[in-house]
Structures are given as structure tokens and as C-alpha cells.
Structure 1
Amino acid sequence: MKREVEIKRLQALRQVDVLVIGGGIAGAGVALEAARAGASVALVEARDFASGTSSRSSKLVHGGLRYLAQGRIGLTRESVREREALLRDAPGLVVPLRFLLPVRVGDKTGRRLLGVGLALYDALAGLRTRCWYGVAALLERAPILGLQGLLGGWSYQDAQTDDARLVLRLLAEARGLGAVTINHLAVKALTRGAAGVDGALLEDAINGDRFTLQAACVINATGVWADQLRAGLGHAPKLRPLRGSHLLFEAWRLPVAQALAFFHPDDGRPVFALPWEGATLVGTTDLDHADDLAQEPAISGAEFDYLLRALRQQFPSLGLGRADVLSTWAGVRPVLAEQGSQPGSSVVSKQGDPSKATREHLIVEEDGLITVTGGKLTTFRSSAIAALRLAAVRVPALRNLRRHAAVLAPAGALPAQLPGEWRQRWLARYGGEAQALLDCALAHPDELQHIDRSDYCWAELRFACRAEAVVHLDDLLLRRTRLGLLLRGGGAELLPKLEAIVCEELGWSAAQWADEVMHYLDRVARCYALPAETQP
């Protein structure tokens, strides 16, 4: 997908049935379902696709065992069913993930209570995945666990994904059905007609060009920023931004063959360590995020120490320290405020435990603007369909929504001449665009090589520059691929070799490359590296 071509298409259209604002998982899901129903669709994203919460999640596609414990059975039922649909329809992109839940003496939630919860969790999905392991059997599966007070542990199954690639796959399928999707194209103002919101004034972040697009229906899918669009119509905020932060370790330093979930020694909150992309991901925190949403979030020193303390308590033999952390990231969740604002107020109440705040989605129509936000990564499709059913009053084509259609279309096949390790991975992550990636790789056979210890090859970087609307270096290294997270220093050692590929494909000059490198490394240092040490 060439961004310039998409912009020209959008300018030529002048009007669409559905304008989706926001290029994260919520917006991508809305765009795909609307295009699948036969509506004309445009999606615009002010920054990069998945650059907000949708590339900064815990990578879990799960029902939310914690939400079940809070009595939110409806949300859990919806989530486990969507999880199973994604496992069925996106194999290799959404993959099963088995969890181990160690039980220790003194845990506030013991074996029996956890077992009851897991039985209900399985029942809601129509499966049986749970089983109990005694101490010896548990240690066979997780020998790094500390022995102190260990009674055994439960095992159950959930799933995980690469959140950014899931968004990109949804957007690619939406484009295949005729949707126009453009990143770095911001909404400067909503336009209004007799029936309320009827379009938007758009501004290209690259050259400053502005143009207006009319739409029968405008959907606000901007996640944690949704209240900002709503405020422009005079509506009080409904969201409580919560920050979740993560650490990433090399797999040899924190070796887990399956996910481990355990309770933090300070406050009893659940923490997990799970295998992801050949590394080990640890998370997450749950704190009110008071910083300016215009600024990219980053882990705080206190959060970093909090997660590291949990790891040291659970895996004392490993001696984990700051130097073992490859990278960090923080995402801000669009969680519904339990108590709304006072009329005219610009802030929402932040009372109550953040971990107990509801993860239900918000879908509301106000002055013709439909907002869909909140919810979870797992439930993006059900949220999208609910929002589009509300929009069907304005867009007759949306009466054709197919709730039980496959989440993603079958990916097809690639020639057997491509090694199986690439073939299955590319089909899962690129879907219908996998053949174009293969063509790119065959034209540059020397680039079909693993990058460092990752599962990426150089051809994927070239293809992303050529066909995936890369505008900045961080688009390429933090979202089209995750090399900026998986390699120390944001993958700075790749840059000398990468320069030739990027400049050839994107037409960058040496000066532009140098400027992009400077901005990228600054972003890595501010938002993806280790925070400054806190005072003891």
C-alpha cells in the first residue's frame, strides 16, 4: 500500500459511507467489518497505524481471568468466545499460550478457589484446558520457580499475538475490500450538517495539505484519545486513562517455555512472564496515567522496580537485575471511568483501584458521532459490530453485517520452494500480501536471512518500506517489525546496513536518513529504554 496513492484515492472520493478516525485495533476492526458489509470506508490515523495502545499491549488474546474474579461474567464469556474465533481464523498470528499459575502458602487465592474460577473460565469457552500439577510436576515445566512455600500450580490455556501485526493484517484485508486507510493524516476538526457530524477536515502530517471528507457516518475509534474528539462537541469525558508497563528480557536470561502468572508480593496483583517473539515479556502495571496524552508514554522508575521486585521474589535463583532488561514499553488503556464527570468538568473521577476498573467497551452516539472505545484487544470484532449496528441508521449497507463470518480470510498458500519457517510465518502475519513479500524476497535473495536472533529477515524490512506506508523509522522498527524492542538500543547496530534499503525504497537523502536516525534513537531512549534509577 503506497500512502501517496491512498491519499489521492481519498481526495478523489470526496465522500464515503463510513469515516473511521483511529488506526488502532478498534478502528481496524470497524473498517474491516464495514467494508465487508459493502460500505465505502475511509480510515485515517493521526500518527502511525497501531502507534497507540495497540502496539503497546501485553500481547494477550485472553478472556480475562481477573475479570471473572470481579464477577464480570458477560465480558469474560464474550472474550473467551472471541479468543476461540481468533485462534480458529488467524492461525499463526493468534497462537495458543499455556499458562502456569503457581500456588504458594499464604496466597490470598488458594488452590481450591483458583480451581473453581478456572472451571468456570473453561466452561464459558466450552473447553477443558485446566489441570493441577504437584510441586515436582510443576518444577519439570518451570524449573526456575523458587521453592519457598510452593504447593503446586494450575495450568490453563489462553492465547497471544503480535498486536501491531494483527492491526496491520486487519487493515490489509479492509483495503482488499475497497477501504482506504491512511496513516499520518490527522483530523483537525469535525464538520457538521443538519443531522450532526457529517465529515472531517483532514491534514496531511507530511506536507500540511488540508482537505475535507464528507461521510454519512463518522466513527470515533481513537482509543484513549476519544474524549478529545467528544470534547469538541461539548461532551464531558468518560474515560480514565490507565498505564500498563512492561519489561522484555532475552529468553536465555528469563527462560519460560510457557507463560507464568503469579501474585506480586507487595499488593497481590497478578504479574506474568511469557514467551513472545523469541524473548520473555513481563507485565504489567495498572496505574492512573496523569501525563499529557500528546506525549508518548514510558515506564516510570517505580514501575520498573515494581516488576523487577516481583521477578526476584518469584525466581530468586536467576539474580535478575537492570542490566538484563532488553527494552521497556508502556501503553495507556482507554478504561471507562466508574464515576462520570460533573457537567462541564474537564476531568473524570479517578477514585478506586485501577485494577478493578471495568474493561467493558463504550459505544455511544452523540450529535451524529459514534464513539467506540474501552474494551480489550480480544473483543475488537464484537465492539466493531456493535458500533456499526448503531451506524446502520445512516448507512443502509451496514444492515448486511455478518456477525458469524470468519474474523480474517484464509491466507492462501506460498510455493514450497520457500523454507517452511518463513512460509507459515508470512502467511499468518501478512495474509494476502504474503505473495508480494515473497516476490520482494526473491528479487533480493541475499536478504532472506535472519536478523540477529530474531525471526525477521531483511526482506521484510524492504517490503515494509515498499508496501506498508512507512513514513518514519520508528514505523518500521517498532510496528512493521518489532526489532526495536527485541534488540538492545532499539536495534541501533542494524542501522548501517538498513540505511541502503530504506533510502532506496523511500527515496530518502543522506540528510533525511540522519535526521530520522536521530529522532528514532531519541524516542527509544525516552520511551523504550530503562528509566533512570529511583532513589532507595
Structure 2
Amino acid sequence: MSNTPATVDSVARSWDLVVIGGGITGAAVFREAVRMGLRTLLLEQNDFAWGTSSRSSKMVHGGLRYLKEGKVLLTRASVKERQRLLAEVPGLVDPLGFMMPVYSDGGPSRLVMGLGLSVYSLMALEKQYISYSAGQMADLVPGLRTQNLTGGFYFKDAQVDDARLVLRLIQEGVANGGTALNYTKVQAVGRDSRGRVAAITAQDTETGATAGFDTKVVINATGAWAEKLGRVPESGVHIRPLRGSHLIFPASVFPLDRVVSFMHPADKRPVFIFPWEGTAFLGTTDVDHDHDLNTEPVLTKAEADYLMEGLDFILPGLKISVSSCIASMAGVRPVLSHGRAAASAESREHAVWDEKGLVTVTGGKLTTFRLLANDALKAARDYLPAKNLPSKSEPVFDAPKNRSSKMAPLNKTVQTRLYGRYGNQANTLVETCGPDLLAPVFSTETLWAEIDFAARHGQVRHLSDLLLRRVRVGILLADGGAACFERLEPICKSALGWNQEQWESEKAAYVKLWREAYAPPSVLFAK
């Protein structure tokens, strides 16, 4: 990607495949289609990863919770994909330990948890857990509620920067010959006399430029928006948008390098607090989202109260106050609903259907993005040139061909992080920046060089693209990272060509957005 990208009115007019949606599923379909040698165009109506795929719980789950629902195949697939990603992209997908206390007054028993974790371990081909007594759990988790505590478990899982995962897939698809456009909305899907897909019309949502594209197949990977293009063919089934919200605290309030997972006392749903990028995330909720999908989802007061109730219940000794919260985040999950009353009871499995060349894929989990992509491409094969699907044993990502000598001053952890997140572009990132940019942005793990590189090469249009998705300092620092503005100003002016008026306008728009959708409860709900 670059910041002088192709535009809707300048790219080729004929494509083997058009992918609609720049979240994790669309990005994965795009990457796999390009790998197959297909001429592929990806279109996203907002910014890449704007929706669910930058607002998740950052977990690459093995799917332990699905075992109790009898979803053995889903769990097995998730474990395999998690293990592959851990091996393939360290620094982007990294191990994360879970501590799960067990109580006699709610949640699964030690026996049930132990059996589930044993099956989990068999799937991962290595033991994934350690069992602890009540006393050991209390020692290992400071501030833990000890009333009715019977013991607990440590088990292995993984976490990711979800937006960077999406961006790396798109980056490598573009590097290998695909074309990806953000802020480009598909207005219509055209069909021929037999009712088959024949073309689409798309418009740049900011400049108004419009163009038509010929294609025999469109893959609709728009998540919660999927039914805007094609209805679910199964009677009584529809896409149910569910909101999941998080509170974000400074790391200092949570003295652990692993997750504490527990059952919320109000509804026995799994909730957790976990370390991420120098902060502590508390989440998540699971409630119906009845608002306009095109506006930023926002944490509600009821959700904030629910999360704090759970935190106070499980870690009363830490006395974490909502006043310590520095940011919030809400995302909308596209769940294929079968009419269950409780949101958390709905299945997280994905579905694919074909309407004469309009192939829709929706639902599913972040962890299994490649499986969703391959299922979508299988459904589209009748409309595509004869190409073999990528082998399941083939790596998803391009391994860095060489390592720049400019990496030498950085410690190994930082080097691994950069290669995981940027692949081959990590070399360009360090080679084209001044040494003063190879320092972290305040208390975060993000380097100033990452901000500079993203501004120059990341198809950034707005300050929110840069601070909320290309890097994440907007949710990792207090006040949305306002302390960065002085140093950001010359970077944005140089890289993006903004004059003083544009910089001031973007800064004001970003501050307004952050205060309305990403701020802590003390700001969101201030009278």
C-alpha cells in the first residue's frame, strides 16, 4: 500500500473477482485470491479494519468455550489455526496465558474444566494447562476473590493486534498484484439476462468519483452489512448484529502478564481482563446492537456498569475504579442468528451462500479467517478462471526475505514485533526513517517510525485512520494520544501533504470522534 494509491476512477475496469469488505474476512479472501493468480479488487466503504476487525478482544482463541457447546470440529479447527499463526507470525500473534479461577457457587466445576482442557491439549498435541489448588490460585492472582474458590487453571492461548493482522493481509495482497481501495462503496451489483453477476458500480465516498467494473463474481465479506447485498437463503435465519464493548485501563492497575477469565455473576457469561500493548482491557459484553451500522458503535453506561460489576466481583482486592479508565472501545459482531433469545447463545460458526455469482460469507471467528476465505473461494469456483486453491499447508504470509542491518540497534523483541506486523515492509520502515524515530511513543510499544511509515505508505486519509488502526495509540494513551499531536503535526504535513488548515481540521475531527466513541465513561457519560 502507499499514500498515492490507485483510485476508483483510475484502476482497471475488468476483474476476475471483486471482494467487498476490508475487514478480516475480506482481507483474507483478497490475500488468498491473489495467491491463486486471480485479478482481484478489494473495496471497503470506510477504512480498512474500520468495523469489527479493529474492535475485537484481540484474542486468537483455540475455541475452548465451544467444547461445552459440542462444537468439537470448530474447536479443533481453531486450535490448528492458532498454532499455525503462532509459528508463522511471531510478533503479530503471540502466546498469552489464561488464569481461570473455579468457584463452587457458579461456573464450570474443576472436573468439567479439567476434562475440557485435556481435550484441548490433545487437539494442540501438547499439554495446554496446569491445575492449581485454591491457595495456589490466590497466590498467583493478586486481589482475587477467595470466597467459595475451589481452585483454578492456567491454560495457553494467543493474542493479536487485529487491525494490523488485516492490514498485513491487504499489504501482501497488494504487493503480489492485487488492488485494494478504502473509502470506496459498492452502489450496485449488475446482472446479465440470466440473472448472473456481471458488473458492479462503486463510488469513492469522499470525492464522489464513480466507476463501473466488469466481473463474474463478487464475494460479499461485509460482516454485519452482509444482508444489504444478499439475503440469507435459509428461512428464519438472519444476521444479528451484536455489540461487544471494552474498558481500557493503564497497565499499572492490573499487575499480571496474563488473562484473568471468569464467569460474570449476573449472567454466567465469560468475561476477562487482559494485558495488551501496555494497557489492561476489560471485556466483553454481548448485547444486541440496534443502531445505524454506519455510525461508530459506542459503549453504553449499562455495559460499563456490567463490566465493572464483574471486575469488582472477581478482583475485589485490586480496588480498580472506573475513574482509572483511559478509553473504551465497542465493536459489532455479525452473528448468524437462529432466533435464540440470549445473544451469547447464538452460534459463532460461519456460513457461505451463492446467489448466481454473489457469494456471501459471514459469521465465524477471527482465528479461522483463512478457513472462511477458502470456503468462500470454493463457493465462487464456478465463476472463476480454473485455478487451484492454495494448499492448506502453504503459509498465509510471506516470510521476510532478508533482515536489514538497520534493525541491529533494536532489541530482538522489537525486531520480532516489526517483522510480524509488517513482514517484508519492516526493512523499508527502518531504512527510511531517522534514528530519532526508532523510539517508542511514550509508554506504548509503538515506534514513532511506525507512525511515520503508516502516514507515508498506509493509504491514510484521516488522523483517525492513523491513530486508531494503522497504530493504536488512540486507545492506548490517555486523551486519545493528544500528547502526540505536537510531534505528529510535522509528520502528517510532510507525509500526507496537509497544510495548516487541514491539520487543524483533522485534529478537531479526531478529538470529537474520540470523545464521542472511544473515551472513558467519565467523558462519554459526563452531564
**Within 2, Cα distance between the matches of 1:231 and 1:201?**
19
3-state DSSP of counterpart to 1:419: coil
3-state DSSP of counterpart to 2:151: strand
| Equivalence for 1:431 | 423
The 8 Å contact of residues 250 and 326 in structure 1, kept in 2 or not, is answered as yes
| Equivalence for 2:238 | 238
The 8 Å contact of residues 63 and 78 in structure 2, kept in 1 or not, is answered as yes
**Within 1, Cα distance between the matches of 2:5 and 2:107?**
57
**Within 2, Cα distance between the matches of 1:252 and 1:294?**
35
Give the Å deviation of 1:12.
Answer: 4.0
Q: Out of 396, 399, 423, which is 1:407 matched to?
A: 396
**Within 2, Cα distance between the matches of 1:357 and 1:232?**
16
| Equivalence for 2:511 | 521
Deviations 1:440-489 (A, max 9, x none): 22xx2222221111111222111101001110000000000000000011
The 8 Å contact of residues 359 and 376 in structure 2, kept in 1 or not, is answered as yes
> Could you tell which deviates more after superposition, 297-306 or 395-404?
395-404
The 8 Å contact of residues 187 and 202 in structure 1, kept in 2 or not, is answered as yes
Dislocated runs of 4+, deviation >6 Å: 532-535
Deviations 1:101-137 (A, max 9, x none): 1012312311111111111222233331112012333
Q: Is 2:80 aligned against 1:81?
A: yes
| Equivalence for 2:341 | 352
| Equivalence for 1:68 | 67
Change (3 A) 1:115 1:508: same
2:400 counterpart letter in structure 1: A
| Equivalence for 2:408 | 417
Written as runs of structure 1 = structure 2, the 5 A alignment for 1:196-345 is 196-230=196-230, 238-339=238-339
Q: Is 2:140 aligned against 1:149?
A: no
Give the Å deviation of 1:269.
Answer: 1.0
| Equivalence for 1:449 | 439
**Within 2, Cα distance between the matches of 1:232 and 1:203?**
25
Q: Out of 451, 469, 474, which is 1:461 matched to?
A: 451
Give the Å deviation of 1:98.
Answer: 1.1
Unaligned 5+ segments in structure 1 are: 340-350
Deviations 1:49-83 (A, max 9, x none): 00000000000001222221111222111111111
- Superposition CA RMSD, Å: 2.0
Give the Å deviation of 1:236.
Answer: 9.0
2:437 counterpart letter in structure 1: E
The 8 Å contact of residues 357 and 383 in structure 2, kept in 1 or not, is answered as no
2:19 counterpart letter in structure 1: V
| Equivalence for 1:504 | 494
Give the Å deviation of 1:232.
Answer: 12
The 8 Å contact of residues 389 and 398 in structure 1, kept in 2 or not, is answered as no
2:429 counterpart letter in structure 1: L
The 8 Å contact of residues 132 and 151 in structure 2, kept in 1 or not, is answered as yes
> Could you tell which deviates more after superposition, 128-137 or 38-47?
128-137
Change (3 A) 1:296 1:236: farther
**Within 1, Cα distance between the matches of 2:146 and 2:231?**
53
| Equivalence for 2:42 | 43
Taking structure 2 as the reference length, the TM-score comes to 0.95
Give the Å deviation of 1:436.
Answer: 1.3
3-state DSSP of counterpart to 1:308: helix
2:471 counterpart letter in structure 1: T
Unaligned 5+ segments in structure 2 are: none
1:312 counterpart letter in structure 2: D
User: What percentage of aligned pairs have identical amino acids?
Assistant: 42
2:470 counterpart letter in structure 1: R
Written as runs of structure 1 = structure 2, the 5 A alignment for 1:171-190 is 171-190=170-189
> Could you tell which deviates more after superposition, 519-528 or 145-154?
145-154
**Within 2, Cα distance between the matches of 1:34 and 1:508?**
35
**Within 2, Cα distance between the matches of 1:270 and 1:323?**
24
| Equivalence for 2:484 | 494
Taking structure 1 as the reference length, the TM-score comes to 0.93
| Equivalence for 1:393 | 382
3-state DSSP of counterpart to 2:159: strand
| Equivalence for 1:484 | 474
3-state DSSP of counterpart to 2:94: strand
Change (3 A) 1:3 1:189: farther
The 8 Å contact of residues 360 and 374 in structure 1, kept in 2 or not, is answered as yes
2:48 counterpart letter in structure 1: F
The 8 Å contact of residues 247 and 325 in structure 1, kept in 2 or not, is answered as yes
1:375 counterpart letter in structure 2: G
1:418 counterpart letter in structure 2: P
The 8 Å contact of residues 256 and 280 in structure 1, kept in 2 or not, is answered as no
1:25 counterpart letter in structure 2: I
1:520 counterpart letter in structure 2: Y
| Equivalence for 2:123 | 124
State the aligned residue count: 520
3-state DSSP of counterpart to 1:58: coil
The 8 Å contact of residues 391 and 398 in structure 1, kept in 2 or not, is answered as no
**Within 1, Cα distance between the matches of 2:232 and 2:114?**
48
Deviations 1:83-102 (A, max 9, x none): 11111211121111111110
**Within 2, Cα distance between the matches of 1:322 and 1:423?**
35
| Equivalence for 2:98 | 99
Deviations 1:383-414 (A, max 9, x none): 10011011111113443432221121213423
**Within 2, Cα distance between the matches of 1:445 and 1:493?**
21
**Within 2, Cα distance between the matches of 1:177 and 1:69?**
41
**Within 1, Cα distance between the matches of 2:323 and 2:307?**
14
Give the Å deviation of 1:225.
Answer: 0.7
1:417 counterpart letter in structure 2: A
Change (3 A) 1:376 1:316: same
2:62 counterpart letter in structure 1: G
**Within 2, Cα distance between the matches of 1:27 and 1:168?**
11
Q: Is 2:364 aligned against 1:364?
A: no
The 8 Å contact of residues 216 and 395 in structure 1, kept in 2 or not, is answered as yes
The 8 Å contact of residues 230 and 236 in structure 1, kept in 2 or not, is answered as no
Give the Å deviation of 1:231.
Answer: 5.4
| Equivalence for 1:112 | 111
